[in-house]
Structure 1
């Protein structure tokens, strides 16, 4: 009986330990801006640092588009997500517990970034009279997709609705489609567009500063203590710790707050973003 009792105690302890281990495992969704292989390679070193610093196991859950990430987050299947400003605002509308932890800095050291319209370097499109041009976009929920591209065209005197636009999903696919001559212009993140300058791609219009891409936590599934640990670990990371991280997250981070998005909220209220292209 003594041994049976001891076995029961050990089984209960094991169950508690296993339950604790599960509670300390978080699921992270990267943003599908580039190919899955590229994205996973970029985020793994950062996640390894967070695991080492906090003692939390972090699993990657890759989704093919923004909408899938937001649905999983709303369903409580994601604890952390790497999101641009527009996906975050869309998520926040659905999940009030979506909490931005940090903004990742750009290479310049700024915690903001810009979107751009790109075209072949030898083309000189007149954005003030743009009509019937083929325009490549990322995704409906991409900040640098319809929202920013239409905004830039309206500033110049045109609009996307007077042109032919199609969603191609990823930023690098937009850049490549323009370099191949399949589209005359494209809308994407400026930093990604400039990576294709050697292939003849040029930035012809650029937006004002937008809140940097953020690590967003699900306060429904992640405690405040854990969120504070994750935020502190990323803000404190520097030097050799971050030099091997991906291009979009290797320049440091600053604390993020929901109020950082108020300017973009006002812009989004004026926009009617279509779910599909018009050709």
Structure 2
């Protein structure tokens, strides 16, 4: 049975407040409701992601002279739903999540993570197996278990599924298990619960640094083309003056303000944030078309 790309979900109850308190009385073009509500997709263990994202939120708060309320959302669908319902002003989405947020919530990509040379950073999706596995290609996944991350993830769902289709397999030919996230998919592999798992270059770098993944004990049987890194977006129906102020503030942040969260996205050493727009992510719009994903899947 096919699982919809995005199922309705609620925002995580855990909110981290960055910056000083504010009220509606302080509304301004850069602080329209007395605060800016900032959502971040749960692409990493919240214990690592929350403090890293808070550094970015604090820096943005200082640039805008406005309180920034940070929320690590429960899952990809929750973040799209929150922006669609007007509960987020800005948000970091995965590239494919942005595709659907742009359709459902009018999300506009404004900046992403740059490397030390000022170029847009990228990452890759991958499928890994134990080093002693007989599986050497995607074609040989037939009849085997494959751990994917979360429904709606670019590297943890859509791209591995496309790799399966490109290999001439039907999804029913592979026993797909949605583990609940990138870290959980990796754990399923390292704990021997599945025959193969998706592991993107970001999670690989993070897990290697943490000592929870040793690449010498595993083998990558598939790797995607480079994917443009996660965009920071703003809700399209907001005041143009606010959107410009946020874009300018983000572009003016020093590399140290984005370094912690950038490291979790395999951007090291980090540069400043760089401008992006919808055209940057056209390959992901094309991917959604190729896989037959529509707003009905959201």
TM-score range, shorter chain: 0.7 to 0.9
Check 1:147–1:263 CA distance in 2 against 1; reply closer, same or farther (3 A cut): same
Structure 2 partner of 1:189: 200
Distance in 2 (alpha carbons) for counterparts of 1:263 and 1:33? 20
Structure 1 partner of 2:282: 262
For the pair shown, the structure with the greater C-alpha radius of gyration is 1
Structure 1 partner of 2:142: 131
Distance in 2 (alpha carbons) for counterparts of 1:35 and 1:82? 15
The structural deviation recorded for 1:124 is: 4.3
Given that 1:136 and 1:166 are in contact with CA atoms closer than 8 Å, whether structure 2 keeps it comes out as: yes
Given that 2:60 and 2:253 are in contact with CA atoms closer than 8 Å, whether structure 1 keeps it comes out as: no
Q: Deviations over 1:59-110 (max 9, x none)?
A: 0123211111111111101111110111111112212x31111121368954
For 1:61, what is the secondary structure of its paired residue? strand
The structural deviation recorded for 1:245 is: 4.6
Pick the structure with more helix per residue: 1
Given that 1:32 and 1:63 are in contact with CA atoms closer than 8 Å, whether structure 2 keeps it comes out as: yes
TM-score, L = length of structure 2: 0.77
What runs of 5+ residues in structure 2 fail to find an aligned partner? 1-22, 294-298
The 5-angstrom pairing of residues 152-231 of structure 1 reads 152-194=163-205, 195-196=207-208, 197-198=213-214, 200-221=217-238, 223-231=239-247
What CA RMSD, in Å, does the superposition of the two structures yield over aligned residues?
2.7
In the alignment, structure 1 residue 33 sits paired with structure 2 residue 14? no
Distance in 1 (alpha carbons) for counterparts of 2:261 and 2:287? 32
**How many pairs are equivalent?**
258
The 5-angstrom pairing of residues 1-279 of structure 1 reads 17-18=25-26, 23-95=33-105, 97-105=106-114, 110-126=120-136, 127-194=138-205, 195-196=207-208, 197-198=213-214, 200-221=217-238, 223-247=239-263, 248=265, 250-272=270-292
Given that 1:150 and 1:159 are in contact with CA atoms closer than 8 Å, whether structure 2 keeps it comes out as: no
Given that 2:25 and 2:34 are in contact with CA atoms closer than 8 Å, whether structure 1 keeps it comes out as: no
Distance in 2 (alpha carbons) for counterparts of 1:174 and 1:93? 28
